[in-house]
Every structure is written in C-alpha cells, then in structure tokens.
Amino acid sequence: MNTAHPDRVNKQGGVALITVLLIVAICSLLATQLISQQHIQFRRTLNQLQGDRAFHYVLSAEEWGREILIRDANENQQDNYNDDWAAVLPPMEVDGGMMLLAAQEMHGRFNINNLVINGVVDNKQVEIFQRLLENLELEPNLVWPLVDWLDSNEEVVGPFGAEHDSYSELTPPYRPANQAMINPDELAAVQGYTPIILAALVDHVVALPVLNAGTPTATLFNVNFITEPLLRSLSAKMASASVEEVLQEAIDDGFNSINDFLNAIDDANPEITGLSSSIDRTLLSVQSEYFLLEYQGDFEPVVLKSHSIMHRDSDANVRIINRAQGEYYSVTTAIY
C-alpha cells in the first residue's frame, strides 16, 4: 500500500489553503466593486431624479411669479415694496424637500446696457454712471472701457477706453464682446473692473435688454426701489441732497407718481434751489418691467439655485426672457 510522504501532504494542503484564500479574496474584491458600482449608480439615479424634481419646481415657481405679476398689474399702476410679489416668503416645505422663493424688481439699479443705445453712446447715462462711480468712491473713468465693451465698433472712446488691442495683449488674450451684456457678472471681463470694484458695484447695477417693442430705449429707474448712491447720481445737485426721508417714504408707502417723488425731494431739501428740476424726469418711473425671481430647492442630496428674469409689458403679459443656474447678483473673477 502506497502512502504519501507527510511533507508532500502538508505542502499540498498549504497550496490548497492559499488557493482558497485567493479565491475568497478575489470574490470579496469583486463583490466590493459590484456593491460600490451599485451604490454609485443608485446615487447617480437619485441625483437625477431629485434634480428633475427641483427643476420642475423652478417651472412651478415661474408660473407663480407670472400669475402674481399679472394680478399686480391689473390691480394698480405702481410697483413698490407693498406689492404682493415683493413680500418676503418663508421657506416652503414641498414634496421631497424645501423651497425658497424671492422676487425683486430690477429698475432700482443702473442698467449697464443703457450706456449704449442702438450703437450710440447715451451721454446722459454716461454722466449718471460716472456720478454713481464717484458716490461709490470709484474712478469715474471706468465708464469708458465699459462703453467700448458695449459698442459695436473698434474705436476707443474717451480716456482709458479699451478695444481689441488692449485685450489681445492679456494672458490669455480675448476679444471685447462689442454687444450688450446679459448678466452683470460679465463686468469681470472688462478692463479695470477688479474684484474689489465689482464688490462695490454689485448692489447697484443690473444688465437688462434695452429693446422696447423692438425699439432700442433706455430702461427707466423706478424711484420706489432706487438705491441711495444711484439716487444721488441722478444729477450733480443731488450729491449734497438729503435723501433719507425720501428713501424711507419709498419703502413705507411708495410714490404714486413722479411728481410726488420730485415734490418729496424738494420738501426734504428746501435750501437747494431747483433741485428737482435738475433731475431728468423722463428717466424715471413708478412702474417696473423686469423682475428677478430667485429660487433655491433643497432636495437631499441635491441643492439647486437658479434665477429667472421675467418681463411684464404694458398689456400685463409676462414672459421669461432668461433662466440660468446660480445667483444673478454675484462677484466673479472669471474672464472669457
């Protein structure tokens, strides 16, 4: 009877044990990879579903904004802080998460695109913007590279202007847009507009279309929402005027007409002769056309921030002219 040598048996047993351990290790590794991939796929699917849910709430929010703006236009001919659309809404619990909504009008700030209307520099708007820069303790000549960015030609306008030659020498080089802006973030690409300057400007500027029924026309300033530095920029005399009472009245009750606003300016500054007449009333309004709807949806694990710009025409028709993710008013250092 043949018997195996004990050493050989031990070696064969050791090899078998190692083989089993390797098989177990490989199976464990494969199982771990499969579970990991399944988990990633699950999270990806969940993110997509929650992202879709959040986006559809964006569309619902826009419908809410449209309806409330139409109703407001049918009820009164002024826009002020007492309107329903201007009310601060608390966080809303919705199916699957939370939603925040905030609406604001866009005529209380300086419209960058007003500087160039139909290819022509608007000198009145240039002067107002320069005074705004001065009131914010910024260099007033910053208006000129902005004008060059907006106009359609390659001719340098004013001191410190900048066209293609200036931008082509940068690293990386790029070209000026030579067209109207869509978002004030684009200021970051204009020569001279550093992050510090953008931070000072962000609460006082906006970028709105200047087409009114197909005709290029500067958008008006709504005196019920105008910021203090911009109010002081409406004329040279306004720089030294007392405006606190006027701004408070705009917040508390709102002005029903431009005459009421101008009378309030004079009443608050009886020592300044001809103050209200120094303001170009054709640039003012108590109504707004453009509104910003900001949305944030928190649907675990997705948080979606977006904004929509809504336009309401004289017939109370409301349409969405722009929709994008992220915040509309922000400071960026990005360039093209």
In the chain the domains, ranked by start, together with CATH numbers, are: 110-285 (1.10.40.60)
pLDDT tier at 58 (50, 70, 90 boundaries)? Answer: confident
What would the pLDDT profile of 110-120 be if each residue is shown by its tens digit? Answer: 999 999 998 89
- The residue-averaged pLDDT of 49-56 equals 73
- The residue-averaged pLDDT of 160-187 equals 90
pLDDT tier at 86 (50, 70, 90 boundaries)? Answer: very high
- Inter-CA distances, 255 with 37, 224, 259, 265, Å: 62, 6, 9, 12
Q: Which long-range contacts (CB under 8 A, 24 or more apart) does 307-311 make?
A: 308/58, 308/61, 308/62, 308/65, 309/106, 309/208, 310/62, 310/65, 310/66, 310/69, 311/209
pLDDT tier at 335 (50, 70, 90 boundaries)? Answer: very low
- The residue-averaged pLDDT of 307-335 equals 83
| Structure confidence at residue 18 (pLDDT) | 79
pLDDT tier at 331 (50, 70, 90 boundaries)? Answer: low
Averaging pLDDT over each range in 135-139, 160-164, 183-187, which range is the top one? 135-139
Does the pLDDT at position 71 exceed 70?
Answer: yes
What would the pLDDT profile of 248-284 be if each residue is shown by its tens digit? Answer: 999 999 999 999 999 999 999 999 999 999 999 999 9
Type of residue at 29: L
- The residue-averaged pLDDT of 73-90 equals 92
- The residue-averaged pLDDT of 301-323 equals 89
Give the relative orientation of helices 143-150 and 123-135 as an angle to the nearest 10 degrees.
140
144 or 305, higher pLDDT: 144
Q: Are 85 and 294 in contact (CB under 8 A)?
A: no
Does the pLDDT at position 245 exceed 80?
Answer: yes
- The residue-averaged pLDDT of 104-132 equals 96
Does the pLDDT at position 336 exceed 50?
Answer: no
- The residue-averaged pLDDT of 303-330 equals 89
